[in-house]
Amino acid sequence: MGKMLTVGFDFEDSFYYSIILVKERLGETEYKITVMNRSLELLLKGNNIMIEKEGHLNITLPESNKIKALKLTIGNALGLLLGLPLQLASQ
């Protein structure tokens, strides 16, 4: 079984928890957002992966502003927990 982290975050005037699955892949660490409020989990479907690269938490942002805001919020919380700065991935 892989490693799991729990992250709390504020989004749209409510506080939520997310479970992050951690996997090592080809020298990089992958963080997969897997469990939280059901409606937010469905919102992130297909946009729930973050990768640790060269000392940064690398995030690819979707087009939708709401999904982008959610992913950045969770990314910031995860980055604080891990002590990693965020870096936006090139599209």
The predicted structure's pLDDT at residue 2 = 78
Task: State the Cα–Cα distance between residues 81 and 33, nearest whole angstrom.
Answer: 14
Token representation of residue 82: 């891990």
Consecutive 10-residue averages of pLDDT for the chain (91 residues): 89 94 90 86 91 92 91 95 89 51
Q: Is 41 exposed, middle or buried (0-12, 13-18, 19+ CB in 10 A)?
A: middle
Q: Is the distance from CB of 4 to CB of 22 less than 8 angstroms? A: yes
- Give the domain range for residue 56: 3-88
The predicted structure's pLDDT at residue 36 = 75
pTM: 0.89
The predicted structure's pLDDT at residue 78 = 96
Structurally, how many domains does the chain consist of?
A: 1
